[in-house]
Amino acid sequence: MKTRWFWGGFFILSAVILVTNALGIFEYRIGFFTLIMTIALVAALLGSLRELNMPGVVFSVAFMAIIYARPLHITALVPWTILGAAVLLSMGLGLLIHPRHRNWERRYRHHHFHEHWRGDGFEETNTATVDDANVNLDLSMANSIRYIHSNDLQTANIHVNMAGAKLYFDDVQLHNQQATFNIDVSLSGVELYVPKTWQLDCQLNNNLGHITETGHAESAGPAVTLIGSVSLGELTIIYI
């Protein structure tokens, strides 16, 4: 599914929900905040399904179950019961179904492709190379790949909104062996490829998002501090 079709369908669905709720077509009326949360959770659910991200799918459904417990007649299930079941279910499904980004990781280890591989073929992707000591990335409404090259990287400001992004920092030398990444991910999926020698200090705020790591860092190396937030999105850190 190409990004424009995904977000196009998402906005059309959001418009339908907004209008039908205002007309009172459904017996259960929802408030404005609940409506916004519903739209956001649907977006997270669709994005997680596209990437086969089982924790994202399960927790999106779990939060919607909490929000709509009364019309679903499941008020006997307290939120902690639903969230506890979601944790166990996501762990089980995560062991059985792997996210699609792992296919890319295996390919990347052998070839530095500029195409964006997905399970159903190649997808149109905005690809560029950035060479700067202070990197500023503002990506939205598209699939993007950025290859970062720097001999003296100091900071990276990464803002991704309603998009998918793959960011490669494998060809980077850090200023004084340290750097700060300011990351803002909203309704998006971001894959951050970093050298396995980097020691990441993750200080990100997780607002209904999902932060995971693939691979392991070595015991010593340059220090990188991650600050910012992940809101209703997914950040995957991949050591290469």
Mind listing the pLDDT tens digit for each residue in 162-213? Answer: 788 999 999 999 999 999 999 999 878 899 999 999 999 999 998 877 888 9
pLDDT-derived band of residue 17, with 50, 70 and 90 as boundaries?
A: low
| pTM check: above 0.75 | no
More confident residue, 85 or 8: 85
pLDDT of residue 100: 53
pLDDT-derived band of residue 4, with 50, 70 and 90 as boundaries?
A: low
Checking if the pLDDT of 132 tops 60, the result is: yes
DSSP string, 91-134: HHHHHHS--THHHHHHHHTT---SSEEETTEEE--EEEEEE-SE
Please tell me the least confidently modeled range out of 6-15, 32-41, 47-56, 193-202: 6-15
> Radius of gyration over alpha carbons of the chain, in Å?
19
More confident residue, 66 or 192: 192
Question: Domain limits of the chain?
Answer: 3-96, 103-239
| Sign of torsion over alpha carbons 215, 220, 224, 228 | positive
